[in-house]
């Protein structure tokens, strides 16, 4: 047997050869001692020496060897010490009785000794197993993933049993097992997991198998199943295996419970965020809608009585507010998309081009040309999503137009390794301490009674992050704010056209 088997089958160390040597040595020692004492000791004393040898042997060797020892002791006593000496003949009837008594005593002692040895070994084994379960429990307490628990379970089973041992986790009712698992083993494991009961050797179901199939279960909650093949027949071993599996089952259930608690917490946080989101969004949508409804209904019912300039003004309100709504919708969608999409698609883009396309759109809302742009030529290309970057820039410019009445500067620059886009305004600025909060969804500077896209800056921040960039706001000397976007520039620019 291999060394890993020591825990469940260790009654005797060594094999029959060792037993033979030990018995021979003990008998030889008893004989030699008897011969030495011969003149001074009685036959009874010598017989006692042999009884001692048999007693020692019975504790150290197998029952068969111990009985062989008893027989040898009787033979040797007869040969060396019972007259006539150096022959197996027995003359005196009294001596025959002595020999028979010795034989009986020797056999009884060897049986008692063997039983005692077994008990000691069983006690030692139980202590070892208890220690092992304690170790397993300690290690399981530190495990946080089902796979970790499974590995521990498998390791402890393999340490205790010759095996091979195998364990799998239950996922959606199916056991997740290595692909090379034999179909019969797979089925039996699945059955154990489905029933939550052990089956195989020594159990009520399929007791003829030489393997155990044990659920990793705790109070009816099955997390997986394990199999120990070439299982030893004794009840204690199976109970130990079941104890290991039960500990693993408990740990699996604990991890699962913890996971669902976390999920529940997360969901409640998400609901909270959703509520804030919905409250804010309905406010942001309702205000422009109210303006549109008022203007349109006024045109519908009072249209004929309104002066032409007033009618035009109402129409302009409707168009303006729909533009605002359309922007808001776009930002809301974009934020949701950026939060869910993860990776965005990047391609080589020219920042000059993006600025140009944004200005073309924003100028419609900037008839006085308050925005002044400074874009140097020969800027490096950047890896970007042009639609997203354009939206970022458009949001920043729209905000600047909305929150200030003076000139707005759009300045692009390239520093070593990065491109910087800055929008400087002369608005009332951001209150100190608010520099981070304004980038959160639905935070708004509402003082001046002017509406801002509550989402605009949150979308800008999300877009900047998606590009590995950095978006900051700084107070501007002389009043107003500077919104600065820094974008990384690839060290290797794309090669031009092959000549």
Partner 1 sequence: MSLRILIVEDDREIRSLLRSSLALEGFEVQTAVSVSEARALLHHAEPDALLLDLGLPDGDGMDLVREIRTRKAMPILVVSARHQEKEKVRLLDSGADDYLTKPFGVPELLARLRVAMRHRGTALASARLVHDHEDLHVDLETRQVTVDSRPVHLTPTEFKLLARLVRSAGKVVTHRQLLAEVWGPEYTDHTHYLRLYMAQLRAKIERDPAEPLHLLTETGVGYRLAAA
Q: Which residues bind partner 1 (CB under 8 A)?
A: 319, 322, 326, 330, 333, 337, 347-350, 352-357, 359-360, 373-375, 377, 381, 385-387, 390, 412, 494, 496-497
Beta strand 408-415 with 371-374 is parallel
Cβ 281 to partner 1, closest distance in Å?
18
Cβ 279 to partner 1, closest distance in Å?
25
CB-nearer residue toward partner 1: 208 or 497? 497
Cβ 352 to partner 1, closest distance in Å?
5
CB-nearer residue toward partner 1: 166 or 354? 354
Cβ 397 to partner 1, closest distance in Å?
13
Is the CA virtual torsion 74, 76, 78, 82 positive or negative? negative
CB-nearer residue toward partner 1: 55 or 355? 355
CB-nearer residue toward partner 1: 433 or 496? 496
Angle at 32 between CA 30 and CA 33, to 5 degrees: 65
Cβ 306 to partner 1, closest distance in Å?
22
**Strand, coil or helix: 340:** helix
Cβ 356 to partner 1, closest distance in Å?
5
CB-nearer residue toward partner 1: 154 or 395? 395
Cβ 228 to partner 1, closest distance in Å?
56
User: CA 228, CA 237: separation in Å to the nearest integer?
Assistant: 11
How many other CB atoms sit within 10 Å of the CB of residue 138? 9
Cβ 496 to partner 1, closest distance in Å?
6
CB-nearer residue toward partner 1: 146 or 288? 288
Cβ 347 to partner 1, closest distance in Å?
6
CB-nearer residue toward partner 1: 330 or 428? 330
CB-nearer residue toward partner 1: 118 or 337? 337
Cβ 220 to partner 1, closest distance in Å?
49
Beta strands (DSSP E) in 88-242 are 165-171, 174-176, 199-200, 212-218, 221-228
Query: Is residue 117 within 8 Å of 57, Cβ to Cβ?
Result: no
Is the CA virtual torsion 6, 11, 15, 21 positive or negative? positive
> Which residues, 6 or more positions from 406, have their beta carbon under 8 angstroms from its beta carbon?
370, 425, 426, 480
Our measurement of the distance from residue 275's CA atom to the centroid of its chain's CA atoms, rounded to an integer in Å, reads: 31
CB-nearer residue toward partner 1: 17 or 492? 492
User: CA 123, CA 117: separation in Å to the nearest integer?
Assistant: 10
CB-nearer residue toward partner 1: 247 or 390? 390
Cβ 341 to partner 1, closest distance in Å?
11
User: CA 109, CA 66: separation in Å to the nearest integer?
Assistant: 9
> Which residues, 6 or more positions from 58, have their beta carbon under 8 angstroms from its beta carbon?
66, 69, 109, 110, 111, 112, 113, 114, 117
Q: Following CA atoms 84, 90, 94, 100 in sequence, which dihedral angle do they give, to the nearest 10 degrees?
A: 130
Query: Is residue 200 within 8 Å of 191, Cβ to Cβ?
Result: no
DSSP state of 325: H
* Residue 19 to residues 61, 64, 115, 121, Cα–Cα distance (Å): 6, 10, 17, 18
Nearest residue to 439 via CA among 462, 457, 465, 459: 457
CB-nearer residue toward partner 1: 21 or 348? 348
Our measurement of the distance from residue 400's CA atom to the centroid of its chain's CA atoms, rounded to an integer in Å, reads: 48
Burial class (CB in 10 A: 0-12, 13-18, 19+), 326: exposed
């Amino acid at each position: 047997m291999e060394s890993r088997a020591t825990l469940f089958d260790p009654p005797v160390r060594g094999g029959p050869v060792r037993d033979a040597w030990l018995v021979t040595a003990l008998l030889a020692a008893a004989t030699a001692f008897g011969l030495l004492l011969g003149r001074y000791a009685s036959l009874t004393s010598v017989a006692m020496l042999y009884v001692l040898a048999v007693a020692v042997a019975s504790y150290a060797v197998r029952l068969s060897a111990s009985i062989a020892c008893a027989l040898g002791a009787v033979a040797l006593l007869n040969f060396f010490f019972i007259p006539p000496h150096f022959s197996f003949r027995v003359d005196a009837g009294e001596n025959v009785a002595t020999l028979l008594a010795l034989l009986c005593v020797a056999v009884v002692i060897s049986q008692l000794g063997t039983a005692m040895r077994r008990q000691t070994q069983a006690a030692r084994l139980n202590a070892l197993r208890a220690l092992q379960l304690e170790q397993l429990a300690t290690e399981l307490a530190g495990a946080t993933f089902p796979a970790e628990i499974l590995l521990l379970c498998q390791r402890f089973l393999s340490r205790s049993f010759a095996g091979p041992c195998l364990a799998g986790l239950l996922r959606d009712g199916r056991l997740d097992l290595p692909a090379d698992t034999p179909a019969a083993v797979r089925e039996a494991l699945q059955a154990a997991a489905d029933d939550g009961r052990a089956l195989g050797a020594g159990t009520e179901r399929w007791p003829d198998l030489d393997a155990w199939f044990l659920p990793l279960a705790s109070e009816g909650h099955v997390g997986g199943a394990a199999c120990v093949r070439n299982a030893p027949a004794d009840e204690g071993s199976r109970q130990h295996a079941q104890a290991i599996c039960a500990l693993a089952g408990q740990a699996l259930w604990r991890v699962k419970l913890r996971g669902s608690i976390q999920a529940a917490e997360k969901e409640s946080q998400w609901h909270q965020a959703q509520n804030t989101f919905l409250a804010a969004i309905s406010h942001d949508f309702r205000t422009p809608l109210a303006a549109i409804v008022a203007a349109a209904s006024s045109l519908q019912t009072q249209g004929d009585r309104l002066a032409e300039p007033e009618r035009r003004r109402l129409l302009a309100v409707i168009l303006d507010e729909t533009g605002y709504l359309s922007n808001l919708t776009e930002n809301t969608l974009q934020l949701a998309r950026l939060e869910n999409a993860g990776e965005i698609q990047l391609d080589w883009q020219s920042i000059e081009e993006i600025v140009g396309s944004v200005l073309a759109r924003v100028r419609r809302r900037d008839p006085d040309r308050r925005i002044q742009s400074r874009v140097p030529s020969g800027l490096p290309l950047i890896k970007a999503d042009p639609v997203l970057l354009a939206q970022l820039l458009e949001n920043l410019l729209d905000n600047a137009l909305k929150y200030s009445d003076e000139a707005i500067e759009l300045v692009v620059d390239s520093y070593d390794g990065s491109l910087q886009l800055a929008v400087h305004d002369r608005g009332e600025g951001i209150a100190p301490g608010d520099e981070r909060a304004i980038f959160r969804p639905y935070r708004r500077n509402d003082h001046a009674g002017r509406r801002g896209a509550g989402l605009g800056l949150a979308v800008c921040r999300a877009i900047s992050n998606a590009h590995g960039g950095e978006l900051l706001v700084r107070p501007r000397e002389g009043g107003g704010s500077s919104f600065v976007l820094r974008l990384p520039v690839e060290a290797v620019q794309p090669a031009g056209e092959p000549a």
